[in-house]
Amino acid sequence: MSQTQQGTPMLELLKLPLSVLPALPRIVRDLPAYLNFLSGTVNGTGYDDRKYLLEKVLVLISQAEEDSTFSHILEMLFIRILYRDLPHPAIGYLGIPKGVPLPVPTEVLNNPIPYTFRAADGSNNNVHMPTLGMAGLPYVRNVTTSNTFLHHGTYPSAETVFDELLKRDGFVEHPGGLSSFFFSFANIVIHDLWNTNHSDWMKNDASSYIDLSPLYGSTEADVNSVRRHDGTGRLWEDVFADRRLLFMTPSTCALLVLFCRNHNYVATRIYTENENGTYADPATLDEEKRAVQDAELFHRARLVNSIFFAQIVLGDYVGSIIGLTRDGLSWRLDLPKSIRDLSHAWTGRGEGNVISVEFNLMYRWHPAISMEDTTWMEHFFNGLFHGKPSQELTIEDYKQAVRELTLATPRDVRERTFHHLKRGPDGRFADEDLAQLLFDATESPAAAFKARGTPEALRIIEVMGITQARKWRVCTLNEFRAYFGLRKYNDFDEWNPDPKIHTTAKRLYGHIDNLELYVGLQAEEAKPAMPGAGLCPGYTISRAILADAVALTRGDRFLTVDFTPANLTSWGYQDCQYEKDDGSMGGIIGRMLGRTLPGYYPADSAYKHFPFMVPKTMKGYMRKQPNGNVDKYSWERPKGPLHEMKKAAMSLSAVKAKASAQVKMNGNENGTSGQYGKLGL
């Protein structure tokens, strides 16, 4: 994240014509897409996203000369457009808490957390509006609807919609080579931002910021449950606060455990670096001073860890979403950077953010679940619902199962486990077990986004999603597209050209303007893998997701104006910076994998540098790149230190056996002048 002020002085503008020259052939080739955008914007009909304007602009910026005036201005304009897709601050809440204007809770006013540290519930991110984006408040609605079809009881049942449009009819491998590991990380991001209140579906019990709340929690009680409070600022070993994640795929839990380890690594480094000379051995401090030191170390470590998490989102995650990692490009959109436009006006940063119901629905990526995770889920759900078939499950069955599961989960985070893993005497899970889960996830291809792509085991989850969307009174798909300046669909075959899909949808909904948002997003024709497109979801999702990414990062004070060495310490600030030449193609997650599972991620391993891509697929893409460096990487599954220890032990046994045989041959079986004596064994 750049902290330098980005302007467009006249001297730079004078350089613009020269910096454009190398890009002219591509601009001319893509001219129809640009003209379509201008035409659709001027006449108000919206532009045709099947012309791939978004992808063409991303490719143009990514392949332009680095730090050129042309690439800088184009990136600046691109980010400005995306940031202004959504209102800042959002105003269309699903409900207003008692009191107008929005009251500032006493606990927020009396918040003991200093301005530069994150609050557990996300409050005080915008100090002028302290409750903006705070956990426990209603969702916002970005897009209003004037459609009456869905609100007169004339819509098809949620069960029918799932069975006919969403239920998986066969596994199709992801066209962009994304791995199950990518969606394990996505799981953490999604649960970081959305936690719909079970009693009141209008409220979000998570904050609207990338604050790593699955690890730390969203309340002070959650945060205290994972902290040691021993003067070191560390967390308990291999814990996380959000129990929802215990019921996700094993690789999701394993990855979240690594973020716990990363926090402890960071806290220890900040303590040992002791940049200001203010930290002391906790054993030498009285209780009050120890508590003060622990609080500062914890909050600084949390800042570093959560910003590191956000850097993974921007570098590895978004880099995979727009295909940069796959195509061997280390350039990334610098979404949080400081920007002035041509009129010298600022583009906002650190203004706060509030999650919307539309994006809640957009991030339900169940069609992408891998075959291996589908099998795990089927077994898990079979036990959860006591063998009751998915076709017979009701929402009440789900709520009852969740209640039982919650009661069965230990309150003490140190006693929780997942996937039959065992904690050692030190409270940690075995490195070997965690590593194997993550290796499996890296090797496992994700599924393609498509209509009829959601595993049947998730039927009740999808039925609840459709039901929630209807209770929220969300907009239709066409209304959502119009909001983002996209051309509305005129008929179902434009939305999805597959006759089996669009004829079914037409029978269920009658007119394309009646197609509800959630179903429309899930069953829309998927975008093909191409330069600028790596996630390959439906066309509408691929446009809206970047607007959300910009809002999340630019709106967060801690990822923008307060991302400084003063707050993170000099070491922590440097630890969150990318290294373009480290072989990760603009990523950063490999740094955490290597230090939290030492010995399992060799420096040259593709599993370390590109865990979001299936190794064999990434290797194939790299071979096609002009400057592909396939031979610089190890593409085999890492063996880990246990393998090396076993290998060494076997070698030692072989040496001893050979030496013993030699001794016997020399008639000196018990002497010290034979092979044993010479080898010192």
pLDDT digits (tens, 9 = 90+) for 83-95: 888 888 888 888 8
Residue with the bigger pLDDT between 71 and 356: it is 356
- Rounded Cα–Cα distance for residues 588 and 612 (Å): 12
Among 21-30, 126-135, 563-572, the range with the most confident prediction by mean pLDDT is 563-572
Per-residue model confidence (pLDDT) at position 668: 40
- pTM (2 decimals)? 0.89
Task: Tell the residue number behind the tokens 């005080």, with chain if given.
Answer: 124
Per-residue model confidence (pLDDT) at position 681: 25
Per-residue model confidence (pLDDT) at position 495: 99
pLDDT tens figures, 201-257: 999 999 999 999 999 999 999 999 999 999 999 999 999 999 999 999 999 999 999
Nearest to 103 by CA among 73, 62, 74, 136: 136
Sign of CA dihedral 551, 555, 556, 561: positive
- Rounded Cα–Cα distance for residues 511 and 596 (Å): 53
Residue 344, classed as helix, strand or coil, is: coil
- Rounded Cα–Cα distance for residues 298 and 289 (Å): 14
Question: Residue 440 pLDDT more than 90?
Answer: yes
- Rounded Cα–Cα distance for residues 63 and 78 (Å): 15
Per-residue model confidence (pLDDT) at position 361: 97
Q: How confident is the model at residue 644 (pLDDT cuts 50, 70, 90)?
A: low
Residue with the bigger pLDDT between 146 and 366: it is 366
Per-residue model confidence (pLDDT) at position 114: 80
Q: How confident is the model at residue 666 (pLDDT cuts 50, 70, 90)?
A: very low
Per-residue model confidence (pLDDT) at position 106: 72
Catalytic residue chosen out of the listed positions 363, 483, 601, 607: 363
Q: What is the mean pLDDT of residues 617-646?
A: 87
Q: How many CB atoms lie within 10 A of CB 245?
A: 21
Domain ranges of the chain: 5-83, 106-558, 640-679
Q: How confident is the model at residue 670 (pLDDT cuts 50, 70, 90)?
A: very low
Q: How confident is the model at residue 342 (pLDDT cuts 50, 70, 90)?
A: low
Nearest to 120 by CA among 302, 373, 342, 259: 302
- Rounded Cα–Cα distance for residues 397 and 411 (Å): 23
Per-residue model confidence (pLDDT) at position 336: 81
State the average pLDDT for the chain.
Answer: 88
pLDDT tens figures, 457-514: 999 999 999 999 999 999 999 999 999 999 999 999 999 999 999 999 999 999 999 9
Token pair for residue 612? 């979001």
CA quadruple 268, 579, 178, 67: dihedral, nearest 10 = 140
Q: How confident is the model at residue 3 (pLDDT cuts 50, 70, 90)?
A: very low
Per-residue model confidence (pLDDT) at position 7: 47
C-alpha pair distances (Å), 647 with each of 158, 440, 640, 651? 56, 22, 11, 6
Per-residue model confidence (pLDDT) at position 61: 86
Laid out side by side, the sheet with 5-6 consists of 5-6, 338-340, 346-347
- Rounded Cα–Cα distance for residues 186 and 541 (Å): 15
Residue with the bigger pLDDT between 356 and 336: it is 356
Q: How confident is the model at residue 6 (pLDDT cuts 50, 70, 90)?
A: very low
- Binding site for heme b, residues? 366
- The answer to whether the CB of 572 falls within 8 A of the CB of 303 is yes
Residue with the bigger pLDDT between 12 and 188: it is 188
CA quadruple 330, 333, 335, 338: dihedral, nearest 10 = 90
Helical residues (DSSP H) of 341-430, grouped into ranges: 357-362, 371-384, 395-408
Please enumerate in sequence order all residues whose Cβ is within 8 A of that of 517, keeping only pairs 6 or more positions apart, or say none. 358, 361, 469, 474, 475, 476, 477, 479, 480
Sign of CA dihedral 503, 504, 505, 508: positive
Q: How confident is the model at residue 449 (pLDDT cuts 50, 70, 90)?
A: very high
- The answer to whether the CB of 679 falls within 8 A of the CB of 638 is no
End-to-end CA distance of the chain: 55
Please enumerate in sequence order all residues whose Cβ is within 8 A of that of 333, keeping only pairs 6 or more positions apart, or say none. 58, 61, 75, 78, 79, 314, 318
Q: How confident is the model at residue 665 (pLDDT cuts 50, 70, 90)?
A: very low
Per-residue model confidence (pLDDT) at position 680: 28
Could you confirm whether 363 is annotated as catalytic?
Answer: yes
Reply yes or no: is the peptide bond before residue 565 cis, omega within 30 of 0.
Answer: no
Please enumerate in sequence order all residues whose Cβ is within 8 A of that of 316, keeping only pairs 6 or more positions apart, or say none. 185, 325, 584, 586, 587, 588, 589, 611, 612
Per-residue model confidence (pLDDT) at position 509: 96
Task: Mean pLDDT check: name the lowest of 60-74, 102-116, 221-235.
Answer: 102-116
Per-residue model confidence (pLDDT) at position 249: 97
Helix H or strand E segment including 596: helix 589-596
Per-residue model confidence (pLDDT) at position 15: 53
Q: Mind giving me the DSSP string for 206-249?
A: S-SS-S-HHHH-SSHHHHHHHB--SSS-PBPTT--S-GGGGGS-
Question: Residue 5 pLDDT more than 70?
Answer: no
Q: How many CB atoms lie within 10 A of CB 236?
A: 17
- Rounded Cα–Cα distance for residues 240 and 217 (Å): 8
Q: What is the mean pLDDT of residues 282-310?
A: 97
Per-residue model confidence (pLDDT) at position 586: 93
Q: What is the mean pLDDT of residues 93-106?
A: 68
Per-residue model confidence (pLDDT) at position 89: 85
Task: Tell the residue number behind the tokens 């370390």, with chain if given.
Answer: 608
Per-residue model confidence (pLDDT) at position 168: 98
- Binding site, residues? 366
C-alpha pair distances (Å), 624 with each of 175, 433, 633? 16, 35, 15
β-pairing verdict for 137-138 and 203-204 = antiparallel
Domain covering 106-558 assigned CATH 3.30.70.20 in the classification: no
- The answer to whether the CB of 368 falls within 8 A of the CB of 448 is yes
DSSP-assigned beta bridge partners for residue 356: 140
Q: What is the mean pLDDT of residues 552-563?
A: 94
Task: Tell the residue number behind the tokens 């041959």, with chain if given.
Answer: 665
Taking CB atoms within 8 Å and a gap of at least 24, the contacts of 121-127 are 121/207, 121/218, 121/219, 121/220, 122/206, 122/207, 122/208, 122/209, 122/211, 122/213, 122/218, 125/207, 125/209, 125/350, 125/352, 125/353, 125/556, 125/557, 125/558, 126/89, 126/350, 126/351, 126/352, 126/557
Token pair for residue 163? 């069975």
pLDDT tens figures, 386-438: 999 999 999 999 999 999 998 999 999 999 999 999 999 999 999 999 999 99
Token pair for residue 532? 């600028």
- The percent of residues above 90 in pLDDT, for the chain, comes to 71
pLDDT tens figures, 125-149: 998 899 999 999 999 999 999 888 7
Nearest to 212 by CA among 204, 223, 224, 202: 223
Residue with the bigger pLDDT between 24 and 326: it is 326
Per-residue model confidence (pLDDT) at position 97: 63
